[in-house]
Amino acid sequence: MRLIRLGAEPSAIGADVRAALTACGVGTEVLGGVALIGVQPPDCPVPLDAIVVLPKGVLVIVGVDLPDPAVKLEAPLGGQWKIDGWPLVSQDGAPNPATEAVAAATAVAQRIQAMRAEPLPVSTVVAVGPFVSQVVQPTVDLNRGVRVLHPKPSTVLSAARELATSTVPCTADHAVKLLAILQTTGTPPDARSLLSEGFPDAVSDLAAANTMLIPKSAIKPLIARKRLPGKLTWPYLAGAALVALILVVWLVVALPGDDEPAVATPAPTSTQPTTVVVDGTTFVPKDMKKDADCQTQAFGDVKAWLIANDCGVLLRAIYETTVKDKKATVMVADMDVFDAPSAKALHAVVALPGSGGISGLDGKPLENAAFANATKGSHVTLAFAVWSGGAGDPALEPIAKQALRLPVTR
C-alpha cells in the first residue's frame, strides 16, 4: 500500500490508523491500494483520517476518540453507544459518533458520482480508541458496509477484505482519476506506479477477458477446382485488351487538347476580424489558442472533473474592450466534452462558487475575475473579465456575459 499524507490526522486515534496502514507495506503482498492521509475532499463535512482507494472498493476512515479505553464497546448505528455498559455521552448530544462518519462517506460517494469517476463501493470505517478490546455491532449495520473497530493491521486488513468486493476492479488509469478528485492538493501518482499496488492495466485486463463464448468455426477443406484449358483463356484476354483500347481512344477524344496549364483556384482565406460587437460593446481580438489537453490548462474542481472525464479540445481567445474609457481584458474558453450529458455534468461543477476554472494563455488563473458560463450541446463555455493589469471588479460581470457570445476560433 502506498501512503500519501496530505495533512494531519484530525483525531488522536488517527496516528494508529496511519500505523496500521503503514504496516501493510508497499505493494500487493498484504493489501495494495493507495491511502490518502489527513484528507478532506470538497463537500465533505469533516476532515478524514484516511481514504483508502483499493482496486475493488473505497474505505472512508473516520477516527473517534473515546474518553477512556474500553473492554467492550456496543456500537449500533441507530442507537446509543455504550462503553462497558455505560452510555457514551458526546458533547454535542448525539447518541453516537457514527452518524458523522456515515455522512462523510456519503459525501465522498456523491463526489465520485458527480465527477463521473469509476464507480466503486464506498464503505465506512469508524476507528475508535485509545483502545477497545471488543466491538459489538448489529448484523444489519454490518450488512450496510459499516465497520467500527480499533485500528491495528489485522482489523484494518479484515475490514478491507470484507468491504472491497467489487466484481469489476478499478484499473490503474481510472485510479489516477479517482485519486485526483478526492485530493485537493498535490498530484496523484501516475498509472505506471499504481500497477505495483494491485490496480490492473486496462490492456492486460482486456486481454485476460474470458473468450470461451467465442464459437469455433469449422474449417472446411479446400476443394481443388479444375483449371480451364489454356486454349479457352486467349479469347477472354483478347476481348479485355480490345475494351481497354476503346477506352483509351475515347479518353483522348473526350479530354480537351489545349496545352494551357490548369490554373489552381485559390482556397478562400478567412481573416481574423478586427473587431467584434456584442450588444453595442466592441471587442478587439488579441490572441487565440487551441489545446487538445484540457486538464493541463484547468485548476480546482474543473481540473479534477477533466481528469476523470474526456475532453476533446479546449479553445481559448483573448479580447480587449473599453468600459468607460478604461481598458478591460476578456478571456473566453470553450471545452468540447463530446456529448450533452457530459456538458451538463461539467457545467454543474463550474457553476459552483470556488470550483476553479481555466487558466489564461500564460498558464495562470485570472484572479478575482468577473465570471460567466454557459452550455450548449457538447460544449461548455467560460468567460472571464478583468481590468487590464489584472484587477477584478464585479462591475465587469455584464462584459463577461456578453463575452460568452464571442468567437473562439480564427
Q: Which residues contact 271 (CB under 8 A, 6 or more apart)?
A: none
H or E segment to which residue 136 belongs: strand 132-136
Q: Which of 110-124, 161-175, 205-219 has the lowest mean pLDDT?
A: 205-219
Cα 29 to Cα 189, 195, 278, 381, distances in angstroms: 19, 13, 63, 47
The angle subtended at Cα 357 by Cα 354 and Cα 362, nearest 5°, is: 130
Contact of 147 with 16, CB cutoff 8 Å: no
pLDDT in tens, 183-229: 877 778 888 999 999 999 875 544 444 444 444 444 444 444 444 44
What separation, in Å, do the N-terminal and C-terminal C-alpha atoms of the chain show? 49
Distance CA 22, CA 44 (A): 25
Tell me the C-alpha distance between 117 and 175, whole Å: 9
Question: For residue range 135-151, what is the model confidence (pLDDT) as tens digits?
Answer: 999 999 998 899 999 99
Contacts of 393 (CB under 8 A, 6+ apart): 370, 386, 387
Stretch among 46-55, 89-98, 161-170, 261-270 having the lowest mean pLDDT: 261-270
Over range 99-124, report the average pLDDT: 85
Q: How confident is the model at residue 62 (pLDDT cuts 50, 70, 90)?
A: very high
- pLDDT of 284-323, one tens digit each? 999 999 999 999 999 989 999 998 888 999 999 999 999 9
Phi, psi of 18 (to 5 degrees): -65, -40
Q: How far apart are CA 50 and CA 308, in angstroms?
A: 21
**pLDDT, position 240:** 62
Lowest mean pLDDT among 35-39, 171-175, 377-381, 406-410: 406-410
Per DSSP, 329 falls in state E
* Phi (first) and psi of residue 230, to 5 degrees: -60, -30
Beta carbons of 96 and 88 less than 8 angstroms apart? yes
- Give the tens place of pLDDT for each residue, 275-286: 888 888 999 999
**What share of the chain in percent tops pLDDT 70?**
81
Torsion angles phi and psi, residue 208, rounded to 5: -85, 5
**CA 338, CA 284: separation in Å to the nearest integer?**
30
pLDDT at residue 114 is higher than 50: yes
CA 81/CA 100 separation, integer angstroms: 14
Q: Which residues pair with 314 in a beta bridge?
A: 291, 335
pLDDT confidence of residue 177: 87
What is the per-residue pLDDT for 214?
44
Host H or E run for residue 52: strand 48-54
Helix runs in 76-190, H state only: 98-114, 139-143, 153-163, 172-182
Mean pLDDT, the chain, whole residue set: 83
**Distance, CA of 282 to CA of 276 (rounded, Å):** 6
Compute the residue count for the chain: 410
Choose the weakest-confidence range: 26-35, 247-256, 292-301. Answer: 247-256
Q: CA nearest 171: which of 372, 274, 308?
A: 308
Backbone φ, ψ for residue 381 (5° rounding): -115, 135
Q: What are phi and psi of 167, to 5 degrees?
A: -75, -25
Q: 29: pLDDT confidence band, cut at 50, 70 and 90?
A: confident
Of 388 and 187, more confident: 388
> Which residue do the cell numbers 471488543 mark?
134
